Amino acid sequence: MKKKNLFGLTLEELETELSPLPKFRAKQIAAWIYQRGVTSFDEMNDLSKNLRGELAEKYFVQLPQLVKQLDSTDNLTTKFLLKFDDGATVETVLMRHDYGNSICISSQVGCAMGCKFCASTLKGLDRNLTAGEMLGEIIFVQNFLRVVNQKVDTLVIMGTGEPLVNFDNVIKMLRLLHKDYTLGLSYRKVTISTCGIVPAIRRLIDEQIPVTLSISLHAPTNKLRSEIMPINSAFNLKEVLKAGAEYAEVTGRRVTYEYILLGGVNDTEEHARQLAKILDGQLANVNLIPVNPVIERNFKPPTHNASQKFFHFLLTHGINVTIRKEMGADVNAACGQLRANS
Ligand code: SAH
């Protein structure tokens, strides 16, 4: 009989799987796996030796395996290349901010969205990650941090992949991560980043989980946005902004609009003016991101002068705006670059 991986199961799924064992056994095992980072039944010392043996005959507990770890020279960013059972690899990034440890996870192996500036999508989409695999990225980093008495404080789903295309698995993972037998992570500490899959934004509203929504806008006109983001021909700016406004209205939470600054492409004062105009009256933050150049792509970062001018234009025109602090450029932290280069 093929052994089964227990990692990634909810408490209810564990109870069913382990039945007729009493339910409290499932609870004990969940705590070992998700809260104490234990993957060997032998170490689960509140289970009898017999039971540990029986479990080991039928099951195993497996997280993704570490293939490569890169630490930035300032030690604030650590990037992990992790491998799943089928050999698929994804990138997971730990960023040590002054407000805590933030982890950026991938939601798919590769990506089908085809954004012109992004390394994750160069080879298209291989497959979705399961809820257990995404949880595996998080528990892997949690176990890594436990050694130094730290934990994962915030989660961003902003690594490789389009999370709203893998909607059900992402929601299942978030609900699991929220449970007190895992990390008990508050939804308010979670950010989902999307290129703007409008019907899925509405589904997210219906889920009633107060996560922060981040929408990758990157251009203030349909013409330019369609040139750099093919998804814009399916869901255009107007529809995306409308869904963003609905999200803000129903949840009461500010939507973040990501705007990559691409030197000479979308970073002029005219672009800033158009952006301020389309965001006028929205409950929104704008996060400006100087592009991380990708070798296979032709985009240049903006000049310092251009990004400062863009920033100040928005600031003085009533927009809540920040410029992303560059982190981890020396560990290829831009989406998909480590995976693409390995
Ligand atoms: N598919 C989702 C989440 C993954 S991309 C989305 O589109 O939001 C996460 C963020 O990184 C997006 O804002 C994306 O546009 C941005 N990004 C992609 N390539 C980048 C690059 N080379 N430099 C800077 N940001 C990049």
Domains in the chain, ordered, with CATH? 4-60 (1.10.150.530), 65-340 (3.20.20.70)
Can you state the percent helix, strand and coil of the chain, rounding each to 5?
A: 40, 20, 40
pLDDT tens digits along 23-67:
999 999 999 999 999 999 999 999 999 999 999 999 999 999 999
Which residue has a Cα nearest atom 4 of ligand 1? 158
pLDDT of residue 329: 62
What is the reported pTM?
A: 0.95
**Cβ proximity of 219 and 225 under 8 Å:** yes
With 80 as the cut, is the pLDDT of residue 335 above it? Answer: no
Half-sphere exposure of 74 (CA within 13 A, CB side): 11
Q: Which of 104, 111, 115, 335 is catalytic?
A: 335
> Which pair of tokens denotes residue 234?
């399916």
With 70 as the cut, is the pLDDT of residue 333 above it? Answer: no
> Which pair of tokens denotes residue 119?
């390394």
pLDDT tens digits along 227-265:
999 999 999 999 999 999 999 999 999 999 999 999 999
**Cβ proximity of 135 and 176 under 8 Å:** yes
**194 in ligand 1 pocket by Cβ < 6 Å?**
yes
With 70 as the cut, is the pLDDT of residue 141 above it? Answer: yes
CA distances in angstroms from 14 to 6, 130, 171, 263, 329, listed in the order given:
7, 17, 19, 51, 41
Positive or negative, the CA dihedral 26, 144, 194, 273 is positive
pLDDT of residue 327: 58
Distance 335 CA to ligand 1 centre (A): 6
**105 in ligand 1 pocket by Cβ < 6 Å?**
no
Q: Which of 15, 91, 162, 258 is catalytic?
A: 91
pLDDT of residue 54: 97
* Residues forming a β-bridge with 68: 81
